[in-house]
């Protein structure tokens, strides 16, 4: 597997965040600065987990105090309904990063899933 460098991943994340939230996220800015939230990323259909480094980088860029409890590793098979990870952090960071993180998760997991399907057949 060819894996991009950490600098490449951070660059891709920076571009995606700039596109998604630009100068700020209006919804996130309405939340209390000290409010903490928990978000659970649940797989909607059977898939191959992929994108952990990008998701980590999204929240690291927004707020290094965000904690992600990973329930699987990249390359593992996920079943529909299975928890991929649980994200704990400030409401502002989680709300600001969720769309970008989900975009990376969907793109990379769908690519990994399609590739595995082709290889097995």
Structural domains present in the chain? 6-120 (3.90.1170.20)
Exposed / middle / buried, residue 32 (Cβ in 10 Å: 0-12, 13-18, 19+):
exposed
pLDDT tens profile 6-46? 999 999 999 999 999 887 777 777 788 889 999 999 999 99
Interstrand relation of 36-42 and 83-90 (parallel, antiparallel or unpaired): antiparallel
Q: What is the pTM of this model?
A: 0.92
% pLDDT > 90, the chain = 83
What region does 106 belong to: left with phi over 0, alpha with psi -120 to 50, or beta? Answer: alpha
- The pLDDT assigned to 24 comes to 76
Structure-block tokens of residue 25? 């996220």
The residue-averaged pLDDT of 55-74 equals 98
Cβ neighbors of 83 (< 8 A, separation 6 or more) are 40, 41, 42, 43, 71
As a whole number, the mean pLDDT across the chain is: 94
- The pLDDT assigned to 1 comes to 66
């Amino acid at each position: 597997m060819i894996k991009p460098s950490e600098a490449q991943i951070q660059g891709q994340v920076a571009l995606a965040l700039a596109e998604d939230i630009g100068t700020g996220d209006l919804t996130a800015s309405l939340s209390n600065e000290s409010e903490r939230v928990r978000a659970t990323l649940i797989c909607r259909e059977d898939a191959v987990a992929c994108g952990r480094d990008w998701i980590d980088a999204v929240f690291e860029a927004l707020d290094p105090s965000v904690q992600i409890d990973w329930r699987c590793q990249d390359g593992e098979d996920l079943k529909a309904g299975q928890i991929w990870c649980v994200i704990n952090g400030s409401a502002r960071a989680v709300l600001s990063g969720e769309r970008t993180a989900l975009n990376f998760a969907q793109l990379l997991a769908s690519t990994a899933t399609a590739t595995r399907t082709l290889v097995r057949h």
